[in-house]
Structure 1
Amino acid sequence: MSSSSPVFVARLAGTAVFDPIGDQVGRVRDVVVLMRTNRPPRAVGLVVEVPGRRRVFLPLTRVTSINPGQVISTGLVNMRRFEQRSMESLVLGELLDRRVRFTDGSGEATVEDVAITKQRTGDWLVDQLFVRRRPERVAPLSLRRRGSTLTVPVDGVTGLARTDVDQGAARLLEAYENMRAADLADALHELGPARRVEVARALDDERLADVLEEMPEDDQVAILTELDAGRAADVLEAMEPDDAADLLNELPDAQADDLLALMEPEEAADVRRLLTYGEDTAGGLMTTEPVILGADDTIAMALAQLRRKELPPALAAMVFVVRPPTETPTGRFLGVAHFQRLLREPPHAAVASVLDSDSHWWLTPDAPVGRVTRLMAAYDFLALPVLDPERRLLGVVTVDDVLDHILPDDWRESHDESLAGEPDGTARVGSRSERSGPARDHMKQSGQDDGGSVSHG
């Protein structure tokens, strides 16, 4: 018999986690459960995202209450990045969208949420599932209706622990809907390879392109090679040309050539051009899609271009002004118009009237990374133009491109202990060390009451 109300995990995702004095520690990103034979799965802790986009483990033994909108914790947490172990499953990452079968033989359903409930013993068990019935087959010309939803006890279905069937990813993506691309990339990195590909396939091209740009190269290659060739080419088209070129550089030449052949000719031409430059040069780092305008275009037009939501901040800092044509490689480069200067001038004025045409701060495509970084540091620019000998604009190197290049290859997975709150790498919240070995099966709540619930109403 349980001593608390059920907590539905999909509703728990994103909930703020606080320490005992009310300071926010992070946000819940998932729940870790142990799948057990002939017994309900046991929830052992929360995956909490703390500052620095690091995901750490918070044992449920150190959670004193779970209420709508907040989780209260106590104690210390090891700030090392959470690493999933072989016997563990992530509720949001792996159990949502899983297909199960009713034990009474009434058909199949898809898991849309999972409820955990604290028992009188202090253990948290998965005891209920919120599922949607899979409709029976209907005539080809009839409308297919969505199945009804219901809450069932966990022992009312079979197949929850299976990993050998495709799941889909609708509910998982719903839980991740408001994540930034970099955060979603981290979440996908934590999933198993098969589940990672399932989720990637469910993303639209633009969203997947944004996420791939934030992932380690190994993950990028693994996902792209699992997509069918046409879809892979569409995703490459949606990526920034420099990022697409970097990814193609990691593929076998034959595969890269096949994908380039499937891309739209104009998109492929930009990427092919970038592939001709060395990766340690300005040409290898640049993007070919900055904001480019002609000298007679107005400041109002420039501000409208800089206001585009999809434009990265570094590229929104300035407009590059050229003679026609305005597609790279452009006509002769005239200078840049800085965003702050544009804000101070009349909207009807021409961008040529506010140009910074200093001749010292541009790059040649063969300029080494060292020159790029020194020039950026000297002039405090977020982006620098790359020009050919005829002073035509070929592209732009941004500060984020430089940082990606000069940081260690594994920086996205770095265990930077400087984020920890204590000399030994711990901060106040809970301790992953408590979950090592068989003793984890005997973790008990230390006497505090749990209150509230997060439910489907």
Structure 2
Amino acid sequence: MSATSIFVSRIRGLPVVDSDGDQIGKLRDVVVAQRSGSETPRVRGLVVELFARYRIFVPMLRVHSIDAVQVVISGVVNTRRFSRRDAETLVVEDLVERPVTRRDQRQPQVIFDVSIRQVRNRDWEVAEVALREAGRPRFRRRGHVTIVPWRDVLLGGQQQGQDTERVVAEMEEMNAADIARELHDMTPRRRGDVVQALSDDTLADALGELPTDEQVALISSLDTERAADVLEEMDPDDAADLLGELAPELAERLLGEMQVEEAEDVRRLLRYEESTAGGLMTPEPVILPTDATVAEALALVRNEDLSPALASMVYVTRSPHETPTGTFVGGVHIQRLLREPPSLLASGLVDTTLEPLRPDASLAEVSRYFATYNLVCAPVVDEDHHLVGAVTVDDVLDHMLPEDWRGDQMDGLVPEEDEEAATAAGEGGADRGRTTQLR
């Protein structure tokens, strides 16, 4: 085993603990996905068995560390029973004992073990394969074992659906808009196969780039549990927009399947009219306590999952620090944070000239606000002066453009400027509305 890789046999059965050190289960398998070309498979997550022999999936984004003693995870984990996607492969269940051929030899061998390594923060891939002669029991070091890089072996017993796996592997490396365009151009049957094989987070990102009618058709085609998983991976404001387009009964059923905290964020957004600051905002801006330093603020905005717009400003509030927060103190621009000493309190750097938006501010008011203050992100505060969310400029543009602009983009069209449509959008446009039954 190389110094930077970990063989799965060494960590299988290790306790999986949370950030407080409390054990939640044991590691049973590692989930990997093939990638295009000669790239090694990417590690998507771990299969963890809870104490009642109930297995769940833990994505690698939640894995804080892996060592010889334990696996440490952090954050919120979905506790639904693990169900493998079509494009996913389990190391222990699918790869161990699988026949392979080395590229430099013709003699067939079988996989004895597989190692994984961390290539970036919380980004892992398959590194090496331990090979042995056929007929030996799993994970027993009898006979000669050879360790080679993954790229040096050819898998035997290829399964059906390999072409779909190849397409999905290529899509995992694309940006969301390009994936959406590929899905848009596929036949319904082909799209169904690929959608079933895509990971939830990839599908969620692509879903937000599709025209509204295609979003509705796609989410409606999924079984309830999978649809809820995908909605959980979407930004809450995008999920609320999509649910607002569905039949009330289906929307409520999907909300009931979602994790309670995720569903509550979406339900709160559904209470606002769509073309208002409350309907446009995300309930997950970057929030700081009053005693946070500049260094702590910059550490939060380094999160790669944040959009550039959302990372452009942090918001200081009193406890609690999840929306709706305690009293809103003010917003701090990232440029100001970059100019100040790391030990300085961020609360002393708030922009006192910035008046927050109200949740009922119309789209026209919000767009003028962004133009007036030259912002790409703005706070939304309720009548009790609690921060309830933040609006980003991309959401404003999304609602000001003609409703079919995504469809035109998919078809490669550049629509002419429609001043009447732009004017209507500026005054709030046509209210598609969200059903009140979702409250």
TM-score, shorter chain, exceeding 0.5: yes
Matches within 5 A, 1:195-214: 195-214=190-209
The structure that has the greater radius of gyration is: 1
| Alpha-carbon separation, structure 1, partners of 2:138 and 2:247 | 46
| Alpha-carbon separation, structure 1, partners of 2:414 and 2:343 | 52
Q: Following TM superposition, by how much is the alpha carbon of 1:185 offset from its aligned partner in structure 2, in angstroms?
A: 1.1
Q: 1:147 to 1:167 in 2, by over 3 A?
A: closer
Letter matched to residue 402 of structure 1:
V
Aligned to 1:236: 231
SS in 1 for 2:173: coil
Q: Which residue of 366, 369, 373 corresponds with 1:375?
A: 369
Q: Which residue of 149, 164, 167 corresponds with 1:169?
A: 164
Letter matched to residue 263 of structure 2:
A
Asked if 1:332 corresponds to 2:327, the answer is yes
Q: Which residue of 401, 408, 412 corresponds with 1:407?
A: 401
| Alpha-carbon separation, structure 1, partners of 2:221 and 2:248 | 17
Aligned to 1:186: 181
Q: 1:418 to 1:371 in 2, by over 3 A?
A: closer
C-alpha distance after superposition, 1:407-456 (max 9, x if no partner): 1112123244599xxxxxxxxxxxxxxxxxxxxxxxxxxxxxxxxxxxxx
Aligned to 1:393: 387
Q: Does the 8 Å contact 2:210/2:407 carry over to 1?
A: no
Q: Give the unaligned 5+ runs of structure 1.
A: 1-9, 12-96, 98-140, 150-164, 420-457
Matches within 5 A, 1:232-381: 232-360=227-355, 362-381=356-375
SS in 1 for 2:230: helix
SS in 1 for 2:306: coil
| Alpha-carbon separation, structure 1, partners of 2:252 and 2:378 | 30
SS in 1 for 2:189: helix
Letter matched to residue 342 of structure 1:
L
Q: 1:371 to 1:224 in 2, by over 3 A?
A: same
Q: Following TM superposition, by how much is the alpha carbon of 1:167 offset from its aligned partner in structure 2, in angstroms?
A: 7.5
Aligned to 1:22: none
| Alpha-carbon separation, structure 2, partners of 1:417 and 1:367 | 30
| Alpha-carbon separation, structure 1, partners of 2:367 and 2:323 | 23
Q: Which residue of 208, 222, 229 corresponds with 2:217?
A: 222
Aligned to 2:82: none
SS in 1 for 2:205: helix
SS in 2 for 1:169: helix
Q: Following TM superposition, by how much is the alpha carbon of 1:404 offset from its aligned partner in structure 2, in angstroms?
A: 0.6
| Alpha-carbon separation, structure 2, partners of 1:142 and 1:197 | 36
Q: Following TM superposition, by how much is the alpha carbon of 1:272 offset from its aligned partner in structure 2, in angstroms?
A: 0.5
SS in 1 for 2:331: strand
Letter matched to residue 147 of structure 1:
G
Q: Following TM superposition, by how much is the alpha carbon of 1:194 offset from its aligned partner in structure 2, in angstroms?
A: 2.2
Name the % identity: 51
Q: Following TM superposition, by how much is the alpha carbon of 1:203 offset from its aligned partner in structure 2, in angstroms?
A: 1.4
Q: Does the 8 Å contact 2:405/2:415 carry over to 1?
A: no
Q: Following TM superposition, by how much is the alpha carbon of 1:279 offset from its aligned partner in structure 2, in angstroms?
A: 0.8
Aligned to 2:57: none
Q: Does the 8 Å contact 1:288/1:396 carry over to 2?
A: yes
Q: Does the 8 Å contact 1:291/1:319 carry over to 2?
A: yes
Q: Where in structure 1 do 4 or more consecutive aligned residues deviate above 6 Å?
A: 165-168
Q: Following TM superposition, by how much is the alpha carbon of 1:146 offset from its aligned partner in structure 2, in angstroms?
A: 5.0
| Alpha-carbon separation, structure 2, partners of 1:213 and 1:197 | 17
Q: Give the unaligned 5+ runs of structure 2.
A: 1-35, 38-86, 88-136, 140-153, 417-439
| Alpha-carbon separation, structure 2, partners of 1:249 and 1:168 | 35
| Alpha-carbon separation, structure 2, partners of 1:276 and 1:417 | 34
Letter matched to residue 214 of structure 2:
D
C-alpha distance after superposition, 1:44-83 (max 9, x if no partner): xxxxxxxxxxxxxxxxxxxxxxxxxxxxxxxxxxxxxxxx
Q: Does the 8 Å contact 1:306/1:316 carry over to 2?
A: yes
Aligned to 2:84: none
Aligned to 2:423: none
C-alpha distance after superposition, 1:305-361 (max 9, x if no partner): 11111111110101011111110000111111111111111112211121113253x
Aligned to 1:127: none
Q: Following TM superposition, by how much is the alpha carbon of 1:147 offset from its aligned partner in structure 2, in angstroms?
A: 3.2
| Alpha-carbon separation, structure 1, partners of 2:285 and 2:205 | 17
Letter matched to residue 283 of structure 2:
T
Aligned to 2:156: 147
Q: Following TM superposition, by how much is the alpha carbon of 1:397 offset from its aligned partner in structure 2, in angstroms?
A: 0.9
Matches within 5 A, 1:11-30: none
Q: Size of the alignment, in residue pairs?
A: 267
Larger RCO of the pair (alpha carbons < 8 Å, separation 6+): 1
C-alpha distance after superposition, 1:277-319 (max 9, x if no partner): 1111111111101111111111111111111111111101010
Q: Does the 8 Å contact 1:168/1:198 carry over to 2?
A: no
Aligned to 1:441: none
Q: Which moved more, 1:283-292 or 1:216-225?
A: 216-225
> TM-score normalized by structure 1?
0.55
Letter matched to residue 184 of structure 1:
I
SS in 2 for 1:376: helix
Letter matched to residue 405 of structure 2:
W
Letter matched to residue 339 of structure 2:
R
